[in-house]
Chain A
Amino acid sequence: AQSVTQLDSHVSVSEGTPVLLRCNYSSSYSPSLFWYVQHPNKGLQLLLKYTSAATLVKGINGFEAEFKKSETSFHLTKPSAHMSDAAEYFCVVNLYNQGGKLIFGQGTELSVKP
């Protein structure tokens, strides 16, 4: 079965410091992986996606993620946090063999301190 595990339910950083949100996946074949962000009382916004091209994927707002097959990881990073980055972040896998159903991780809440 395919799934994703976000290793931290809550991460707190200071403005201007790096962000690391961790995600591990399990899949019987090469998956498509995504990171979405959800600001309070808002829908989901696509940050970036990995679809078996380059393993280092750049997204919007300075975020990037690296696909590491050997570690089954897809961690999200940003060099310098901004106050506006405070939100809930979801790591997501696409199940091709189930009509493109998305499976979401449990989410990581990112807090950014001034």
Chain B
Amino acid sequence: ETGVTQSPTHLIKTRGQQVTLRCSSQSGHNTVSWYQQALGQGPQFIFQYYREEENGRGNFPPRFSGLQFPNYSSELNVNALELDDSALYLCASSSGETQYFGPGTRLLVL
């Protein structure tokens, strides 16, 4: 186990709703990255937070937003959910170049 935890494990929402996913990083790690993995695809980078600041963003619309807290845990918020947002959302923590992944949150949008 990596020590990275995510909650909830599963979530069902309807189109137009908002969702918040949470991630607790591994002890000693100050960087959290979020990825979206659609069914049958590799993970796609959403954004990264380093010491509470956004440190890079992938090709995702502004309705995907995030936060990092002083204890380095993080949230991913998605507004105005669309059917295509259904995916496994993975967070990864790091203190160098190696990222360690949590088990993911599986989001289903109906």
Contacts and interface: CB of A to CB of B under 8 A. Distances in A.
Interface in A73-94: 90, 94
Contacts of B94: 100
Interface string A37-78: 000001111100101000000000000000000000000000
Contact of B50 (A36, A43, A99, A106): A99
Interface stretch (B12-20, B38-46, B63-71, B76-84): B38-46
B42 A106 contact: yes
Interface of A is mostly: strand
26 contacts: A32-B97, A42-B103, A42-B104, A43-B2, A43-B90, A43-B101, A43-B104, A44-B90, A45-B2, A45-B101, A46-B98, A46-B100, A49-B98, A98-B56, A99-B50, A99-B55, A100-B31, A100-B33, A101-B56, A101-B58, A102-B43, A102-B45, A104-B42, A104-B44, A106-B42, A107-B42
Interface of B is mostly: strand
B90 to A, nearest CB: 6
Contacts of B44: 104
Interface of B: 2, 31, 33, 35, 41-45, 48, 50, 55-56, 58, 90, 92, 94, 97-104
Size category of the A interface is 20 to 34
A101 B48 contact: yes
Contacts of A99: 48, 50, 55-56
Contact of B102 (A43, A51, A94, A104): A43
